[in-house]
Amino acid sequence: MSMSATHHHSAQDSSHIRLSIGGMSCAGCVSSVETALRGVPGVTAATVNLGERTAEVSGTAAPEALIAAVKAASYDAAELRGVEDDEAKQAAEQAHYRRLLRKTAVAAAIGVPLFLGEMLGWLPPLSTAGGQIFWLAVGAMSLAAMVYSAGHLFAGAWKAFKVHNANMDTLIALGTGAAWVYSMIVAVFPAAVPSLAQHAYFEAAVIIIALVNFGAALEMRARGRTSEAIRRLIGLQAKTARVLREGEERDIPFAKLGLDDTVRVRPGERVPVDGVVIDGQSTIDESMLSGEPMPVTKKPGDEVVGGTINLSGSFLFQAKRIGRDTVLARIIEMVRRAQATKPAIGRLADKVSAVFVPSIMLIAVVTFLLWYNFGPEPRLSFAVVTAMTVLIIACPCALGLATPISIMVGVGKAAEFGILIRNGEALQQAARLTTVVLDKTGTVTEGRPAVTRILPLAGWDENALLQLAASVEAGSEHPLAAAVTAAAKTRALSASAVEQFEALSGRGVCARVGGKTVLFGNRKLMDERGVAAAVVEQQIDALAQEAATPMYLAVDGVLAGLIAVADPIKEDSEAAIARMHKLGLKVVMITGDHRLTAAAVARRVGIDEVIAEVLPQDKAACVTDLQASGAVVAMVGDGVNDAPALAQADVGYAIGTGTDVAIESADVALMGGSLHGVVDAIAVSQATLRNIKQNLFGAFIYNGVGIPVAAGLLYPLAGVLLNPMIAGAAMALSSVTVVSNANRLRWFKLREAAA
Amino acid sequence: MSALINLLGVALAGFIVWWFWLSRPRAHAAGAAPVTVVVADGVYTPARIEARAGEPLVLRFLRKDASHCAEKVIFDDLQLSAELPIGKPYDVRLTPPAPGEYVFTCEMRMYRGSVVAK
């Protein structure tokens, strides 16, 4: 039997992947899919279930390799994975948070009374017999508190030590452990240490542990908020899907949904996966993915995307992408990946963190020896306290956290606005930009030529003119013709029958409609056919100013009017370009269009420089030229035609990608079509980089100042020594501060300048 | 007494340098089965895994530490990262492209492990 093989492997000795297989029609397919899967290196077993149209694969092969093998055998495949179990994770985090607070409370309950007693001089001196017993009892109590509240730190330090590693736990365990051991020696053998050095530090050890736990709890709270963006995206995933199988509709868990399944979506429900509508019609709110507020109408043949909300009608669609292949899953993956990348600015901190803890241990040893050999009496006490304070104050976490935590919040924030930043390096580059290069078509303009004006002459009206033009253009394939027929369609004008249609290359068209000869085309056509066109000279000049292309319509040799076609400028392009100027950026437009048309567009939106009549393949070279002149260049394009230029630029922005988020050539994908997205992306990058710099500066200064002070540098100068408990408080707060600073990015406002 | 303490101090410093920087932990040799890497108490266990370059390897991370520190595992050189669930195994599949040491760490670089490809 096919299913049995997979169950021989326990979860311990093998790794399983479940695939949904598409395109299987017969039992014969089973063996060819199985053969294809077994041929992948690393596969130990593969079994296909025809009824469920799934495959179970064991071994070390990557899912991508398996899917590629199935596709090579002419079937379709996708990995089946469940929705992430966010609730279980949050519950575990909550439990951990409460545990940290309990540990804090226990340590504080012992440490605080001791500390107060010490301050107020209520505790007996060690030199008396009763005092010694008191201190031994305190030592035992402290040990109990340390075992309960810091057991995990000591265990971690020991485990790390065994694998030649040292971490945060190592420092805390060494610092508090040394304090306890020294205090115990003093309590048991007071005679072994000089009388001036007879001081126990139990309360310091316990209070430091309370502070460390409290700091960890605060940090946990603060960090929970940093991953809010990802949690929101995961929340868009539907948990179940209503599938039509064997003639009936059933709700099944999301993870069981396979390729080609027919899925019903009712009003108010989320679309579970990506697919194509096969029946019904509806409007869908896609704003959660694209940031575009307008609902979109869907009819059979249209694509729907998982995570969007069905607003009105009920419809059926066929699942085409499931599991990790859906747009939503890929967006989540992209954001996660970007959140884990680090710009160059963070590398120094990484190098420092790698050697940080052993270095601090060395500094502590040296501090101890210096005080022991050269310090004032009681030398031993000073040596122990300063070494302990050095170990406690050093905080590798703040350093290690400085960059990634800001990236995490910044990239997540951007994603909320449909701005997908591919890596941390793009953030850093974006903050250095001097020049933005905009591709004209589809970036500054809509990318869809449309009729902008209809100018009828006497005896004609707009509709009659447009109707006639659309009739003669119905058979034409010219892009300008498409604009005319589309305009007629929106005005519900139907085309008349056309005879003797003739396309005149580079001029226009000629045809007979209703017994009349109709000419539709450019000035050249009119001049050749002897149509008097001088009467519209003024309008023509005005149209050129508007970057529109005029087309002339003549009936029986007499000019009837003009239809102007232009690629309309996006309504917010001008405002967005003004914002770019505000950021101090030079804005360059690059286009294959004629100089005059380009100049007219540039004038209207406030562009600084135009590079016109550029062949598509030369755009990358233009970017290189700008870079050679010292500019740090952002290139903005649609990501398809200008991929080489996007890749060449310091930061490439693909605009209006919609749900096609996997555009590889761009560093940043903007799902929305507005140029404001580019400005927002740059602004959020700058804010994130600023935040990283603050964090790094804070972390370096903290350690750079804190460690020498802890070592007692101020003592010879000012006679001041840092209390180890204050060092503990500073350490506990340092990483909380870094996380809180990063969290400020969550309140970063976009488009404030546009408002 | 004083000389002894100084001697101990210098010896301790020497030990720190040798133990943390100069010597390496014993490696765990990876086979065809996934290597379970326990993520707990600030340490990956095992922390050093030997594998063959060019061959796929599955690291099955089992995260027991609920603190955020343990949440991510990042393979810098392989441009790979994963978010680990708590208490459930999570497989990371990778293929070391060439012989060498591939370090994996948590976000803050306190958890630290490496795959040594031969």
Domains of chain B by residue range: 26-117
For A2-29, write each residue's pLDDT tens digit.
333 333 333 344 577 888 888 777 777 8
Contacts of A340 in chain B (CB under 8 A): 72, 74, 81, 107
**Which chain A residue shows the shortest CA-CA distance from B72?**
A340
What distance in Å separates the CA atoms of residue A449 and residue A601, rounded to the nearest whole number? 14
For A98-147, write each residue's pLDDT tens digit.
999 999 999 999 999 998 988 888 888 877 888 889 999 999 999 999 99
CB neighbour class for B74 (10 Å; exposed up to 12, middle 13-18, buried from 19): buried
CB B104 within 8 A of CB B75: yes
Contacts of A336 in chain B (CB under 8 A): 81, 83
B86 and A93: CB-CB below 8 Å? yes
User: Which residue among B5, B43, B60 sits closest to A163, beta carbon to beta carbon?
Assistant: B43
Cis upstream peptide for B56 (omega within 30°) = no
pLDDT of the residue at A2:
32
A220 and B67: CB-CB below 8 Å? yes
A62 and B95: CB-CB below 8 Å? yes
| DSSP one-letter string for A634-696 | EEEE-SSTTHHHHHHSSEEEEE--TT-TT-TT-SEEESS--THHHHHHHHHHHHHHHHHHHHH
Least confident of A355-364, A424-433, A467-476: A467-476
Residue A254 tokens, joined? 């999301």
Please check the confidence at residue A278 and state whether its pLDDT lies above 90: yes
What is the residue-averaged pLDDT of chain A?
A: 85
Contacts of B79 in chain A (CB under 8 A): 341
For B42-92, write each residue's pLDDT tens digit.
889 888 899 888 888 889 999 988 888 788 898 888 878 888 888 888 888
For residue A59, give Cα distances in angstroms to A403, A741, B53.
36, 44, 17
User: Which residue among B16, B42, B58 sits closest to A160, beta carbon to beta carbon?
Assistant: B42
CB neighbour class for A293 (10 Å; exposed up to 12, middle 13-18, buried from 19): exposed
Distance from the Cα of B35 to chain A's closest Cα (Å) equals 9
pLDDT of the residue at A7:
32
**Which chain B residue shows the shortest CA-CA distance from A170?**
B42
- What letter would DSSP give residue A256? G
pLDDT of the residue at A503:
81
Question: With bands split at pLDDT 50, 70 and 90, how would you rate the model's confidence at A291?
Answer: low
**Which chain A residue shows the shortest CA-CA distance from B92?**
A62
A358 and B72: CB-CB below 8 Å? no
Please check the confidence at residue A77 and state whether its pLDDT lies above 60: yes
| DSSP one-letter string for A346-409 | GHHHHHHHHHHHHHHHHHHHHHHHHHHHHSPSSHHHHHHHHHHHHHHH--HHHHHHHHHHHHHH
For B6-46, write each residue's pLDDT tens digit.
999 999 999 999 998 888 777 788 777 788 999 988 889 88
Q: Is A614 helix (H, G, I), strand (E, B) or coil?
A: coil
B108 and A89: CB-CB below 8 Å? no
User: Which residue among A44, A88, A372 sits closest to B5, beta carbon to beta carbon?
Assistant: A372
pLDDT of the residue at A621:
92
A372 and B60: CB-CB below 8 Å? no
**Which chain A residue shows the shortest CA-CA distance from B112?**
A165
Please check the confidence at residue A455 and state whether its pLDDT lies above 70: yes
pLDDT of the residue at A221:
85
- CA-wise closest residue to A204 among A397, A392, A396: A392
Distance from the Cα of B28 to chain A's closest Cα (Å) equals 12
Contacts of B109 in chain A (CB under 8 A): 350, 353-354, 396, 400
Question: With bands split at pLDDT 50, 70 and 90, how would you rate the model's confidence at A230?
Answer: confident
pLDDT of the residue at A632:
94
**A222–B contact, CB cutoff 8 A:** no
What distance in Å separates the CA atoms of residue A402 and residue B72, rounded to the nearest whole number? 15
Question: With bands split at pLDDT 50, 70 and 90, how would you rate the model's confidence at A661?
Answer: low
What distance in Å separates the CA atoms of residue A446 and residue B65, rounded to the nearest whole number? 51
Catalytic residues of A: 439
What distance in Å separates the CA atoms of residue A486 and residue A501, rounded to the nearest whole number? 20
- pLDDT, average across residues A246-275: 87
Contacts of B47 in chain A (CB under 8 A): 163, 165
Contacts of A350 in chain B (CB under 8 A): 109
CB B54 within 8 A of CB B97: yes
**Which chain B residue shows the shortest CA-CA distance from A230?**
B83
User: Which residue among B17, B43, B85 sits closest to A156, beta carbon to beta carbon?
Assistant: B43
Over the range A130-141, which residues count as b (16 or more CB within 10 Å of their CB) and which as e? Answer: eebebbeebbee
Residues in chain B: 118
pTM over 0.90: no
User: Which residue among A15, A223, A362 sits closest to B16, beta carbon to beta carbon?
Assistant: A362
For A179-226, write each residue's pLDDT tens digit.
999 999 988 888 777 777 778 889 999 999 999 999 889 888 888 888
pLDDT of the residue at A649:
93
Which residues in chain A (389-418) have CB-CB distances under 8 A to chain B? 396-397, 400-401, 404-405
Contacts of B48 in chain A (CB under 8 A): 163
CB A476 within 8 A of CB A592: no
A169 and B32: CB-CB below 8 Å? no
Q: Across the beta sheet with B48-51, what order do the strands follow?
A: B28-29, B48-51, B112-117, B100-105, B72-75, B80-83
Contacts of A342 in chain B (CB under 8 A): 76
The secondary element (H helix, E strand) that includes residue A98 is helix A86-120
Q: Which stretches of A446-497 are DSSP H helices?
A: 462-473, 479-490
A337 and B24: CB-CB below 8 Å? no
How many CB atoms sit inside 10 A of residue A278's CB? Answer: 13
For A418-446, write each residue's pLDDT tens digit.
889 988 888 899 989 999 999 888 888 88
CB A748 within 8 A of CB A414: no
Contacts of B111 in chain A (CB under 8 A): 167
Residue A263 tokens, joined? 């899925």
For A301-327, write each residue's pLDDT tens digit.
998 988 888 988 889 999 988 887 888
pLDDT of the residue at A11:
39
Residues in chain A: 755
Of chain A, the end-to-end C-alpha distance in Å amounts to 66
Q: Given the DSSP bridges, would you call strands B48-51 and B28-29 parallel, antiparallel or unpaired?
A: parallel
For A147-181, write each residue's pLDDT tens digit.
999 999 999 899 889 888 888 889 999 999 999 99
For residue A192, give Cα distances in angstroms to A183, A369, A511, B5, B12.
12, 19, 115, 14, 22
- B26-117 adopts what CATH topology? Immunoglobulin-like (2.60.40)
Least confident of A51-60, A437-446, A562-571: A51-60
Over the range A511-534, which residues count as b (16 or more CB within 10 Å of their CB) and which as e? Answer: bebeeeebbbbbbebbeebebebe
Q: Is A700 helix (H, G, I), strand (E, B) or coil?
A: helix
User: Which residue among B25, B40, B79 sits closest to A163, beta carbon to beta carbon?
Assistant: B25
A·B CB contacts under 8 A: 153
A167 and B17: CB-CB below 8 Å? no
Q: Which stretches of A189-270 are DSSP H helices?
A: 202-226, 228-235
Q: Given the DSSP bridges, would you call strands A651-655 and A668-670 parallel, antiparallel or unpaired?
A: parallel
pLDDT of the residue at A40:
86
A15 and B34: CB-CB below 8 Å? yes
- pLDDT, average across residues A680-691: 93
User: Which residue among B6, B47, B89 sits closest to A163, beta carbon to beta carbon?
Assistant: B47
What distance in Å separates the CA atoms of residue A227 and residue A336, rounded to the nearest whole number? 10
A15 and B109: CB-CB below 8 Å? no
Distance from the Cα of A170 to chain B's closest Cα (Å) equals 10
For A507-537, write each residue's pLDDT tens digit.
788 888 888 899 998 888 888 888 888 888 8
